[in-house]
Amino acid sequence: MKRVLILDLDNTIYPVSSIAEHLFGKLFKLIDENLGEEDKLAATKAKGELTRRPYQHVADEFGFSDELKAQGMEMLRNCKFEEPMYPYDEYHLLRQIPIDKFLVTTGFTKLQMSKVEMLNIGADFKQVYVVDPEQSGQTKKDVFQKIMKENGYTTEEVLVIGDDPNSEIKAAMELGIDTFLFDPLDKYTNQGVTYHARDYRDVGEIVNK
């Protein structure tokens, strides 16, 4: 039986695609201006990756110039999202499960916390952690260990839910924690995860095993 759920935010609780153009519009234009003419394919891929990964990682992978990286960082560092946001319809299934929940998300602190506020989900969690690469070298794996240590959870009592096999899912697997890969578009194979589904219907049953 599980005592705690640890959830990712972006593309796990809500779809980033629903806010991407509004949130990243100016940044997308900047990327097109800097990469578009030379490498339109790279620009398109970079913009796609920005909807699911930290800006710093995408900038490094796609070889953004120092100037472009700095301009993008400045845009996002103090950005807050203040438009209406809505979770996936089925998020209410997770909300109803009566066990401890923690939110662990990667990104710029001010931006990620503004999303939590606009989604009105802060009260669902015992604590919200933002892994901000600009502020520290802390990783999601570090935070998972911290949560377990401070709250007395064993690995068997934890279920990590997320959409990214290379982020929260990988971190949990390295710690021996059960994982639930949320994959509404069927993008992935099982990736060695404990559970893999397009929706959250089975999570309630899983935590009571």
Q: List the chain domain ranges.
A: 4-14+84-207, 20-77
Mean pLDDT of 141-164: 98
pLDDT in tens, 88-139: 999 999 999 999 999 999 999 999 999 999 999 999 999 999 999 889 999 9
pLDDT at 87 over 70: yes
In terms of C-beta density within 10 A (0-12 exposed, 13-18 middle, 19 or more buried), how is residue 104 classed?
buried
Confidence band, pLDDT 50/70/90 cuts, at residue 36: low
Confidence band, pLDDT 50/70/90 cuts, at residue 189: confident
- Selecting from 3.40.50.2000, 3.40.640.10, 3.40.50.1000, 1.10.10.60, what CATH number does the domain 4-14+84-207 have? 3.40.50.1000
pLDDT at 52 over 70: yes
pLDDT at 37: 60
Neighbours of 145 (CB within 10 A): 15
pLDDT at 156: 97
pLDDT at 190 over 80: no
pLDDT at 39: 80
pLDDT at 38: 62
Residues with Cβ within 8 Å of residue 165, at least 6 apart in sequence: 181, 188, 191, 193
